[in-house]
Structure 1
Amino acid sequence: MTTSSQADRPGLRERKKARTRAAIQQHALRLFLSQGYAETTVEQIAAAAEVSQSTFFRYFATKEETVLFDQYDPMMVESFLSQPADMKPLDAIRVALTDVFTRMTAEETELEHARMRLVSSVPELRVVVMDQFTSGLTLLTDMVAERLGRDPKDFAIRMWAGAVLGVAIAAFYGREDTDFVEALDRGFALLEAGLPLD
């Protein structure tokens, strides 16, 4: 028979792994900001995070993955799916994004903004992140399909997800000095209004 402490172990183990992954990423981002992305090595990141290089590679296959990994995606999905059933999907996304970003500490917000700046400014990261938009489209399609109780292969849902993702891409790369969440919210408002150009 499994005791309650035994049943809790996988959860505790997963939380510990999540904390280790987050710590490695945070140290990597700090190093990238202070001395440059190209100049920072895996060895330096591991040393800053006080883990071995083999431990680093258990969490991130490459240095670039420390920037590309988005630890807030699962939180956003959970928040999105928990919004009231009668709320429009686009409104649910806007609320979920606001929910996730308002729960972040000042330091977490600063590091997340730094991560976004690195993604948009380092050429090799820009190339990889564009490839990741395919998985982003699948994630968004699945989220909306689950919320609406429809098939993820539904053409209308996939086109809707593509339009939302397109707004997110445009907001990310065209925000300049505007906060990403603010730019995204403005973009979603335009999408909801039918993208008027007048």
Structure 2
Amino acid sequence: MSDQHSTLRAHRRAETQRAIQAHAVRLFAERGYDATTVADIAAAAGVSPMTVYRHFPTKEDLVLIDQHGRLVAERVAASPAAQPLVRRIGGALVDSAAALTGGRQGADLTANEQFLLARLRLMISTPALRARHLDNHYALQQAIVGALARDATDPDTVFRIRAAASACLAAMHTALVRWAEDDGRTELPDLIAKALAAAFGDDTHGAGPNA
């Protein structure tokens, strides 16, 4: 019974966090990041400012906190160990983007795509968020390295993993910027795959053997 209660609490916490973040991103997009207060967000979400801070310790976290690192790390860890590093990482980036955007039907953006696009525009356009976005980028790199270097003891192997992760994330960042500039007209997983192909000379699921 205690496990069930714990699971229920975690589910409710996640729902509350998603609701608060959705209201925050909407208000930031409508009013501007600097003009929107935590109190405004709490009122829109129907919670207290203390509840907002319990889920998001800083105002920046309302935009930047996401599940991307966990999703990518899970997919990297589940990929075949015999595959080249770039193929493992690139495939995980494409697959996690597909999971986060929700699978589009037709030309209209999904609700998840609209939310992600709004977050990305805020990260690009808001000076207070750009530096913290780099922290998120580094955290994602660390998650990938942690998934791939779990049993690695050779420093050269860890170095190769870090280099591959950095290169793949640079390609993904280029795709994200293009996606924002293009107002999400092209599906994000396709753009990431194209960016990886441009960087490594092959598609995401067929990177060269020496990658």
Aligned length: 188
Structure 1 residue identity aligned to 2:3: A
The answer on whether the counterparts of 1:141 and 1:152 sit within 8 Å (CA) in structure 2 is no
The aligned residue for residue 161 of structure 2 is: 157
Does the 8 Å CA contact 1:22/1:71 hold for their aligned counterparts? no
Q: Shift of residue 52 of structure 1?
A: 0.6
Runs of 4+, deviation exceeding 6 Å: none
1: CA distance, partners of 2:15 / 2:162: 34
Pick aligned residue for 2:140 from 136, 140, 143: 136
Q: 1:191 aligns with which of 189, 196, 199?
A: 199
Alignment of 1:1-198 (within 5 A): 5-103=1-99, 104-105=101-102, 106-146=110-150, 149-151=151-153, 153=155, 154-175=158-179, 176-177=181-182, 179=186, 180-193=188-201
CA distance in 1: counterparts of 2:12 and 2:85, whole angstroms: 33
Residues 81-107 of structure 1, C-alpha deviations (whole Å, 9 max, x = no match): 233444444334444344434444421
Fraction of identical pairs, as percent? 32
1 CA distance for matches of 2:129 and 2:154? Answer: 29
| Contact 2:90-2:168 within 8 A present in 1 as well | no
- Provide closer, same or farther for how the CA distance between residues 166 and 99 of structure 1 changes in structure 2, counting only shifts above 3 A: closer
| Partner SS state of residue 149, structure 2 | helix
Deviations, residues 51-80 of structure 1 (Å, cap 9, x unaligned): 111111101112211111123332332233
Gaps of 5+ in 1: none
Higher relative contact order (CA 8 A, sep 6+): 2
Q: Which amino acid in 1 is paired with 2:131?
A: V
Specify whether residues 171 and 69 from structure 1 end up closer, same or farther in structure 2 by C-alpha distance, changes over 3 A only: same
Task: Tell me the amino acid that sits aligned with residue 187 of structure 1.
Answer: A
SS in 2 for 1:38: coil
CA RMSD, 1 decimal? 2.5
